[in-house]
Structure 1
Amino acid sequence: MNTTNLPLPQPGQRPALCVMVLGTSSGAGKSWVTTALCRWYRNQGFKVAPFKAQNMSNHARVVPTADGAWGEMGTAQYLQALAAGCEPDVRMNPLLLKPEADTRSQVVLLGQVDQQLTQLPWRERSAQVWPHITAALDDLRSENDVVVIEGAGSPAEINLHASDVVNMRVARHVQAHCLLVSDIDRGGAFAHLYGTWALLPPEEQALIRGFVLNKFRGDARLLAPAPQMLLEKTGVPVVATIPMQLRHGLPEEDGAFDADVSGAGASGAAASGVGAPGVSTLVQTTVAVVAYPRASNLDEFQPLLNVPGVRLVWARTPAQLQGVDWVILPGTKATASDLRWLRSQGLDAAIAEHVAQGGRLWGICGGLQMLGEALIDLHGVDDNEAGLGLLPLVTVFEVEKRLCRAQVTMGALDAPWQALTDLPMQVYEIHHGRTQLRDDMLAAGMLAHERVPGMVWQSADGRILASYWHGMLENAAVIKALLGVSAPTLDSVFDRLAAGVDGWFASDAQGSEAAGL
């Protein structure tokens, strides 16, 4: 018997039941609610796939494509696929927009960069991408019992409605059971829900089957009579009230998360893990990740937020690097531009001082490229720029993007990174560019060691590690080797979220009947 306000597919139902998670705004919680539902439906014994027609994010993962090549998809949908217990597939996120500047994004269609679409004005893309979106979604519907679909932003942006390919146009295509999520912690949640519903045309209002109040603090009984009043005005019930989940264990889709979200506050305490919210331990290691404007793949540092004794700082000023143990230069979608920003903030001098005082420095992908002497762009891929000069490396940007996912083994490393020596790990690559040691600088006495050809380098004093590999910290053995403790597994995070669904969406006669579930 179904005891939740969630629909279930009929035995052997094809095409799949589609449940869509919409939001009244960005940051309402669509991504992690979608992830929780993917695992919940999977735990009910159904074959499940996630879907998001269009994602705008510099957080991407590498997955195999049908033709045997490698492709890119949004990290949120990659994690949702893992929660659903299926192999991540570019069809689950057919259109990925990777911002390179405030007014320009690289367009990735079905895993591959599409230069023609990248050059088109925003609203002119819809007609060209819509057939690809529907084909991908229809394929997933034919192969699964349930497809859990995530929207983007708000479905009621009336300036974008005519060119929408990610919210209500998708919902209409599959006649989805739509849940509309609002962040009640921001205030105005009932107005957001009502206003979003009211701005939709009647045929789209009819697809909204339930409202969800997310990030609630306090006694839910105090919400009355607002849910009943909202039901009377719209015919749509509040089907779930989700308590604030400060440490749900999943990365934020849109970038760095502040201290109150990460659980690593200024008090010097850090959350001890997803399974024990509110339990803290003394900080033993402080890691500062430089959060430049176009930083990418920040999601790979989520394990640090889940490890007891680790405090993670998103550094944007020199003061935030004072006294930290590690500094990490993460990946970036605009290496030269972010390097100029880093200098404008005075972070270049602060990073050099950190190393001079014996601190660890780790450059990953674009962060690795910054550590060298020069960035050379002959093809208009990025830009030319002098590097930080901390390693005798030079990077030449290449037109073709390198995509790869592999099981690798780190070479022999010197202290303080020696714990990674010969450690096998799953990693991935997403980068334009080829990096190599500069022979003239080596001859002049600026030494560095190439630990893995073309991939990993270490400074002569050992403190600086540079790697093209993403995802190293997502390997439990790497966390254990570097920090001596363990982070919760992704499966434990997914299962905890799924366990919450039964309580959050607990059914009642009035809500279920009104929702038509």
Structure 2
Amino acid sequence: MQPTIKAVMVQGTTSDAGKSVLAAGLCRVLARKGINVAPFKSQNMALNSAVTKDGGEIGRAQAVQAQACRIEPTVHMNPVLLKPNTDIGAQIIVQGKAITDMDAVSYHGYKKVVMSSVMESFAILQHEHDTVVIEGAGSPAEINLRENDIANMGFAEEADIPVIIIADIDRGGVFAHLYGTLALLSESEQARVKGFVINRFRGDVKLLESGLDWLEEKTGKPVLGVLPYLHGLMLEAEDAINSQQVEAADQQLNVVVPVLTRVSNHTDFDPLRMHPQVNLQFVGKGQPFPAADLIIIPGTKSVRSDLAFLREQGWDKNIERHLRLGGKVMGICGGYQMLGEQIADPEGIEGPAGESAGLGYLATQTVLAKNKQLKQTTGTLAMPEQATVPVRGYEIHAGVTTGIAVDAPVQLADGPDGQFGVDNQVFGTYLHGIFEQQEACDAILSWAGLEATQTPDFDAMREQGIDRVADTLEQYMDLGKLWPEWADKFDATLSQNY
């Protein structure tokens, strides 16, 4: 009998090659086969994060992968999370807790120290599960980052695990990406590569066959699968903003989200971009600000500097004019703080110590503090002139906000949250994920002016997205080569479709 493969690592030739999606799909395939599987990513750099039940913070991609495994996420699934707060620095989160801020040079040396936490978390997952699906970060061929590496081959060598490498053919140059990546690895690293996956293929695979044969001959590594381009796939992005939208209905609400320099948890807006009645538009630096029914100021890792950025772009004037014309404005987390009267950072938590005047639309004041609020929570939401509806979500913020009334619009298990202002035209809340429940989303969109709301079931859409990826992997990948001890669980006839 074949020995159990206790882990498989997915590495990519580039960022956004499809590592997160492939890992999530593999997790769901195994979970559907009754195999106890968990996800893992030793080091993640992202401003999209999730909160575990015990109040830890991890990358959202690992929370989605945990969902694919049908288990609760834990801090051990992403023991190191880097949240950039400047172009050269980031907050360092280890096993769910923020420990310090570091610049890139300091962190490069610190990786030798944090590797012990990485291996501890990995050992815990290996002990508790039949196998672990691991996601790498960026590319293993980034020569300048090879020393002290904990994210790709450095971890794979330390943990002694097999690796598969995925490349995005839609970018072009896929054979150069795969051949070149392998060539830049050491002999021992090359030996642990078990095969390649080509992602996002469009067209007739027969036109690709000569290239596949060449790649296998030159490298001695099999192509484990050629995955088709999945149009309209609903799966949360790890970090890059996804602006893809579903086909629009006749009646639409125009929603505009200004993209801040350190925008965080923009996955809050996935339910809106997948809503057929919502025209969601992200507006970046220097872009014209379109007409809107609702403007939503998102969360940010650097609230005071992004408030200054918002003003530099003239977006504060756009918001002011929008309100004069009767439009609605919403702020989530950092955006909520900006809508208040003042934001103070006396200890320099997110940058230079000091105070900033807020936009002044809510009667709140915020002071940034070292201890983050990290929690999953449930409660109720009461929008103006509407029935109270249930709500759930999570909080990730360093700010302590005062001025919140006892009868605030959001009533959570541990107290009131949020506020209305400007004759109920402005609404702010700390609650991430607030659009993910149909009733809460309906209530907010109705307040913003959408009639006869038809909000889809976002939880079901996310599950369908995960299952769609898993179905694709079962059809187009030779999974028996990855887990030979479970080869009888996979349909060998389907693996020949590439």
Band the TM-score falls in, shorter-chain normalisation: 0.7 to 0.9
Partner of 2:184: 199
Match of 1:314 in 2: 282
Q: Is the 8 A contact 1:18 1:174 kept in 2?
A: no
1:215 aligns with 2:200: yes
Offset of 1:215 from its aligned partner?
1.6
Does 2:454 match 1:484? yes
Q: What's the CA shift string for 1:436-474, capped at 9, x where partnerless?
A: 2399xxxxxxxx984346521011411211001111112
| Aligned-partner Cα distance in 2 for 1:293–1:437 | 28
Shift in CA distance, 84/198, structure 1 to aligned 2, threshold 3 Å? same
Within the candidate set 237, 242, 256, 1:288 is matched to 256
Matched, 1:300 2:268: yes
Q: Deviations over 1:21-77 (max 9, x none)?
A: 110011111111111111111011100100000000111111134xxxx11111100
Q: Larger deviation: 157-166 or 500-509?
A: 500-509
Corresponding residue of 2:492 = none
- Any conservation in 2 of the 1:289–1:314 contact (CA below 8 Å)? yes
The TM-score normalised by the length of structure 2 is 0.88
- The answer to which of 96-105 and 312-321 deviates more is 312-321
**Cα distance in structure 2, aligned partners of 1:413 and 1:175:** 54
Q: Who is 1:428 aligned against?
A: 394
Distance 1:500 1:478 in 2: 33
Give, as a single letter, the amino acid of the residue that structure 2 aligns with 1:407: T
Matches within 5 A, 1:292-371: 292-316=260-284, 320-371=288-339
Q: Which amino acid aligns with 1:295?
A: V
Q: Does 1:115 align with 2:100?
A: yes
| Deviation for aligned residue 1:189 | 1.0
Task: Name the SS of the counterpart of 2:296 in structure 1.
Answer: strand
Aligned equivalents of 1:479, 1:451: Cα separation in 2: 14
Which amino acid is 1:485 matched to? Answer: T
> How much does 1:493 deviate?
1.9
1:20 paired residue number: 9
- Residues 1:413 and 2:402 aligned together: no
Secondary structure class of the residue paired with 1:314: strand
Deviations 1:213-255 (A, max 9, x none): 1122222211131111111111112221112224211122113
Q: What letter is aligned with 1:31?
A: S
RMSD (Å) for aligned C-alpha atoms: 2.5
Instruction: Kindly provide the CA deviation profile for residues 64-102 of structure 1, in whole angstroms up to 9, marking residues without a partner as x.
Output: 34xxxx111111001100110111000000000111010
Partner of 1:392: 363
Please report the TM-score for the alignment, with normalisation by the length of structure 1. 0.85
Query: Partner of 1:433: helix, strand, or coil?
Result: strand
CA distance in 1, matches of 2:239, 2:100: 24
SS in 1 for 2:409: strand
CA distance in 2, matches of 1:460, 1:388: 12
Q: 2:51 aligns with which of 48, 55, 62?
A: 62
Residues 291/201 of structure 1: CA separation in 2 closer, same or farther (3 Å cut): same
Conserved 8 A contact 1:479-1:486: no
SS where residue 406 of structure 1 aligns? strand
Cα contact 2:90–2:101 (8 A) shared by 1: no
Structure 1 residues 339-366: Cα deviation after superposition (integer angstroms, max 9, x where no partner): 1111111111111112221222110010
State the AA in 2 paired with 1:458: F
Judged with a 3 Å threshold, the aligned counterparts in structure 2 of structure 1 residues 318 and 9 are, in CA distance, closer, same or farther, namely farther
Q: Pick which of 98-107 and 303-312 moved more.
A: 303-312
Identity value in percent: 38
Describe how 1:6-85 pairs up with structure 2 within 5 A: 13=4, 17-65=6-54, 70-85=55-70
What is the DSSP-based 3-state SS (H/G/I as helix, E as strand, rest coil) of the residue aligned with 2:308? helix
1:422-501 mapped onto 2 (5 Å cutoff):
422-437=388-403, 450-452=408-410, 455-481=417-443, 482=445, 483-488=453-458, 489=460, 490-501=462-473
The Cα shift of 1:399 comes to 2.0
- Aligned residues of 1:449 and 1:459 also touching (Cα < 8 A): no
Tell me, yes or no, if the aligned pair for 2:437 and 2:457 is still in contact at 8 Å: no
Moved more, 498-507 or 75-84: 498-507
Query: How far apart are residue 328 of structure 1 and its match?
Result: 0.8
- Among 136, 140, 155, the alignment partner of 1:170 is 155
Structure 1 match to 2:449:
none
